[in-house]
Structures are given as structure tokens and as C-alpha cells.
Amino acid sequence: MDYLFDILLISLSAALINNFVLYYFVGICPFIGVSRQVGMAVGMGSAVTFVMTVAVFLSWSITTLILVPGAPLSSWVAGFFLPAEQAAAIDMTILTYIVYIFSIASSVQFVEMYVRKFYPSLYKTFGVFLPLITTNCAILFACLTVMSNIVGVENPEEAWDLGRALALGFFGGVGFTIAIVIMAGIREELDMCDVPKVFRGTAITLIVGGILAMAFMGFTGVDSGIRVAVTGAP
């Protein structure tokens, strides 16, 4: 019960309260560039969600199993060359960022192959965006958030397990999709409005994004409120 409650709070936080686009400013490039039509926005959002989940799975596994000091695989391999205590203290976290970006690139390749094989019509519609997802800040940001909840924690028991990591990855993507679809809907309406010449294009999108961010600020404190209501303690 405790665990499910934790997952619920992580999901709510990733999707709405600390929305990746409107609070953490990651994934801005597709937010401004791709959000012209709702159909395309939904496609982009689903692709990002899929890739984010796979990428978070890969990065959690590699971090927990290989990179952190005392990780099972690295200390087992090092045990062949070094005495046991030194093998247990092997710290490969310096390689984190390189490993993450290449696992993201691999996830994108995997998703691209999957979509091309099983949903060819979908691939034709938005297949050109898939390679671009590699440089989407949101995916790397999700992996980094998972990392910061494993590598720097004081209590080894509080290090995130796979369930929490996947919850963050999936619902972070859902939050991204929500933001980008709302923006696409607004922009479809904006096309029929008389926007002043200097604001057309990126400027008006950013200002609308600001108003959206203000709206989403209304969600602040919802998670601490739920926590107080359910557990009775802040």
C-alpha cells in the first residue's frame, strides 16, 4: 500500500505538478516546433513516452547493476582481478552520461525498428521525428532524475527500484504529451486569429506557453496535500 502510494505520488508529480515541459523546461524544441496539429502532437507525444520508458529501463538497469559502487555485475567482474574489498568499491559513475546518451540512442533505434515493422502507416506519418527524439532533453532528463535518486542518496534503502523509475519515465512522457497536445489545440485556434506580425511564429507560442505554465502552477502542493490527507503527517 505504501509502495503504491509512493508510485501514485511520483506519477502525479511527473505528469502534472512538475510537468517536464512547463516546470523543468525540457523538451522545449518539439514543444515549439511540432505542436501545430493535434494529430501530430499525439503521435510525437506517444513516441516520446515509449522511448522514455525504454530509456529509463535501460539506464536504471545499467546504473544499478554496473555503475554504482558495489554494483553486482561490476564487483563480480572486478573480483577476478582485485581483492574483494577493492572490487566492491569500484565506482564507474564517471561514465554515466556517456552510457545514458548511447542507451537513449539505442532506445530510439529500437522503437524506430518496432514502429516500422508493426505500424508502417504510423511510421510514414511521423517517422521523420523519431531520430530527432535522441536530442530531446526530456528523455535524458528523465534518466538523470532516476540517477539522482540512486547515486546520491544517504539511505541505501531509499534508492529507487525499477517500479518507481518506470513510473517516472512513463508518466513524465504522459505529462509531455498532455502539454504538447494542449499547445497544439491552442495553436490550431491561433491560426485563425489576427496575431501581430512581430509575434507570429515562435513568440506567440512562447507567450501562450507561459500562460499554460501559470495554469499548471495551480497543481503545486497537490502531492503534499494528498500526503497529509492520507498519512496524516507532512
Partner 1 sequence: MTQAQTSENGKMPAPRKGGHLFQAWLVLLLAVIFGACLSAVHVSLSGRISDNKLNESLEKIPELIWGGMKQGAPPDQASIDIAPGRIAVTSGQRTTYYPVFRVNAEGALAGWVLKAAGQGYAGKVELLLGLNPAGDKITGLFVLGQSETPGLGNKISSPEWLAQFAGQRTAAPLKVVKGGEPAPGVIDAITGATISSRSVTGIVNRAIGETRGLLTPEQMKLTERSQ
Partner 2 sequence: MMANLPTPMERFVQGILPENPVYRQFLGLCPTLAVTNGLKQAMTMALAVGVVLLCANTIVSLIRNLLKPHLRIVVFTLTIATFVTVVDRVLAAYMYQMSKTLGPYIPLIIVNCIIICRCEVCASRQSVGTAAADAIGQSIGFGLALASIATVREILGTGTLAGFQVMPDSWPAWVVMVLPPGAFMTFGLLVALVNWIDSIRRKSERRG
Instruction: Kindly list the residues in this chain that would bind partner 2 in the complex (CB under 8 A).
Output: 22-29, 32, 94-98, 101-102, 105, 134-137, 140-141, 144-145, 148, 196-199, 202-207, 209-211, 213-214, 217
Compare residues 214 and 230 and give the one whose CB is closer to partner 2: 214
Core vs surface per residue 79-107: b (16+ CB within 10 A) or e: eeeeeeeebeebebbeebeebbbebbeeb
Q: Is 234 in the site for partner 1 (CB under 8 A)?
A: yes
Compare residues 121 and 155 and give the one whose CB is closer to partner 1: 155
Report how far apart, in Å, the C-alpha atoms of 132 and of each of 3, 29, 51, 109 are.
35, 10, 12, 11
Q: Is 121 in the site for partner 1 (CB under 8 A)?
A: no
DSSP 8-state class, residue 151 = S
Q: Is 227 in the site for partner 1 (CB under 8 A)?
A: yes
How far apart are the C-alpha atoms of 159 and 120, rounded to whole Å? 40
Residue 161 · residue 9 · CB < 8 Å = no
Answer with the entry of partner 1, partner 2, none that 56 interacts with (C-beta below 5 to 8 A by kind). Answer: none
- HSE-CB of 83 using CA atoms within 13 angstroms: 2
**How many CB atoms within 10 Å of residue 133?**
24
Q: Is 154 in the site for partner 1 (CB under 8 A)?
A: yes
Compare residues 4 and 98 and give the one whose CB is closer to partner 1: 98
Of the candidate spans 35-43, 123-131, 171-179, 222-230, the one that interacts with partner 1 by CB under 8 A turns out to be: 222-230
Compare residues 29 and 214 and give the one whose CB is closer to partner 1: 214
**How many CB atoms within 10 Å of residue 204?**
17
User: What's the closest the beta carbon of residue 28 comes to partner 2, in angstroms?
Assistant: 4
Answer with the entry of partner 1, partner 2, none that 232 interacts with (C-beta below 5 to 8 A by kind). Answer: none
- Joined together, the cell numbers standing for residue 103 give 542507451
Answer with the entry of partner 2, partner 1, none that 73 interacts with (C-beta below 5 to 8 A by kind). Answer: none
How far apart are the C-alpha atoms of 22 and 25, rounded to whole Å? 6
User: What's the closest the beta carbon of residue 224 comes to partner 1, in angstroms?
Assistant: 5
Q: Is 157 in the site for partner 1 (CB under 8 A)?
A: yes
User: What's the closest the beta carbon of residue 64 comes to partner 1, in angstroms?
Assistant: 18
How far apart are the C-alpha atoms of 73 and 208, rounded to whole Å? 48
Contact residues for partner 1 (CB under 8 A)?
91, 94-95, 98, 154-157, 220-221, 223-224, 227, 233-234
